[in-house]
């Protein structure tokens, strides 16, 4: 599998990279970075550090968008720490970013192997929207896209209705959902039901080696935020769950094929991912995406632990 990752590390982005790098059959053709959990300067540095930590310092990292298409950027330092990795000092990488932008790197990767590259997009969708602007044929050039984003049938996490990645660039998300990708949406609908059990977090602490220990250290910060928000010792696993679904679509045990739109103009609902879920939904000229509604949580947590060993 040839995978291009677009991300904003970010603690759960780190776990997604850990998951992918643990699979020897995965060829990481490139990593793009974007603002989101922190500034693009910080997320780019973190992507390089994490690829070193996870034993893949050779993977090219391309710095992407530093701001959303339209709105001003907002970051998530309270969730991910001032350095985006729980304020844990992850050793600096020797590698530097490529000279091309994330959007250009994605387009080049897709053109170089038409129909073979999968995209994992776990940050704001700005880079993907820019790539579509550079190459309108992108939905035919890549094989499929798995997006972590949206909250279709559940509350949001940054507003009552909007999920962070979508809220961070609603226009970009709307562009991507309209584009006609073979697109799987791993939204809060499933990620908030696949939260880490305390026992799993405890087991992680028993693993040895830099890979597991450093991950566990910055995960503690994330667990701290979620434990306060949810009232129990846990954390969401948004991005690694999307990575796991990309590697094994069978992890998504239930899904709906529905057109999804992003509300751009609401007073209360900007950033809301809208799908017509009525049983008598009318035909729609927007291409459907695959909204994952159930996942095999147990299998995911087993594999996530294995990926950190």
Q: Which residues bind its own copies (CB under 8 A)?
A: 153, 155-157, 160-161, 228-231, 261, 263-270, 272, 274-281
* Helix axis angle, 198-206 to 210-230, nearest 10°: 160
Question: Which residue, 192 or 207, has its beta carbon nearer to its own copies?
Answer: 192
Q: Which one of the listed residues 6, 8, 12, 169 is annotated catalytic?
A: 8
Tell me phi and psi for residue 49, to 5 degrees: -60, -45
Q: How far is the CB of 46 from its own copies (least distance, A)?
A: 26
Q: How far is the CB of 93 from its own copies (least distance, A)?
A: 35
Question: Which residue, 103 or 188, has its beta carbon nearer to its own copies?
Answer: 188
Question: Which residue, 24 or 280, has its beta carbon nearer to its own copies?
Answer: 280
Q: Which positions ≥6 away from 112 have C-beta within 8 Å?
A: none
Q: How far is the CB of 95 from its own copies (least distance, A)?
A: 38
Q: How far is the CB of 169 from its own copies (least distance, A)?
A: 17
Question: Which residue, 197 or 249, has its beta carbon nearer to its own copies?
Answer: 197
Question: Which residue, 192 or 305, has its beta carbon nearer to its own copies?
Answer: 192
Dist. CA 18–CA 6, nearest whole Å: 14
Three-class SS string for 240-253?
Answer: HHHHHHHHCHHHEE
Q: Which one of the listed residues 6, 13, 118, 238 is annotated catalytic?
A: 238
Integer CA distances (angstroms), 175 to 31, 45, 178, in order = 21, 27, 5
Residue 265 annotated in active site: no
Residue 8 annotated in active site: yes
Q: How far is the CB of 79 from its own copies (least distance, A)?
A: 12
Three-class SS string for 94-155?
Answer: CCCCCCCCHHHHHHHHHHHCCCCEEEEECCCCHHHHHHHHHCCCHHHHEEEEEEECCCCCCC
Give the DSSP letter string of 11-50: HHHHHHHHHHHT-TT-EEEEEEE-SSSS-HHHHHHHHHHH
By annotation, the residues acting in catalysis are: 8, 238
């Amino acid at each position: 599998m040839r995978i291009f990752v677009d991300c904003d590390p970010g603690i759960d982005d780190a776990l997604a990279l850990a998951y992918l790098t643990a699979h020897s059959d995965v060829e990481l053709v490139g990593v793009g970075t974007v603002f989101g959990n922190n500034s693009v300067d910080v997320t780019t540095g973190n992507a390089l550090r994490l690829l070193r930590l996870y034993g893949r310092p050779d993977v090219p990292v391309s710095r992407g968008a530093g701001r959303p298409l339209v709105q001003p950027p907002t970051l998530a330092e309270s969730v991910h720490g001032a350095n985006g990795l729980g304020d844990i000092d992850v050793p600096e990488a020797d590698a530097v970013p490529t000279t091309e932008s994330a959007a250009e790197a994605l387009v080049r990767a897709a053109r170089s192997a038409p129909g073979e590259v999968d995209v994992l997009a776990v940050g704001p969708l700005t880079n993907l929207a820019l790539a579509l602007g550079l190459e309108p044929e992108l939905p035919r050039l890549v094989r499929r896209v798995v997006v972590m984003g949206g909250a279709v049938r559940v509350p949001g996490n940054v507003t009552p209705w909007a999920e962070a990645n979508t809220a961070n660039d609603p226009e970009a998300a709307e562009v991507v959902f309209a584009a006609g990708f073979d697109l799987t949406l791993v939204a809060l609908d499933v990620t908030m039901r696949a939260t880490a059990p305390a026992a799993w977090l405890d087991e992680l602490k028993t693993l040895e080696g830099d890979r597991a220990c450093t991950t566990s250290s910055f995960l503690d910060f994330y667990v701290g935020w979620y434990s306060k928000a949810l009232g129990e010792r846990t954390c969401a696993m948004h991005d690694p769950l999307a990575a796991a679904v990309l590697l094994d679509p069978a992890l998504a045990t239930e899904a709906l094929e529905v057109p999804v739109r992003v509300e751009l103009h609401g007073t209360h609902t900007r950033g809301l991912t809208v799908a017509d879920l009525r049983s008598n939904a009318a035909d729609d000229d927007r291409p459907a995406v695959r909204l994952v509604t159930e996942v095999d949580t147990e299998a995911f947590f087993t594999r996530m632990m294995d990926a950190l060993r």
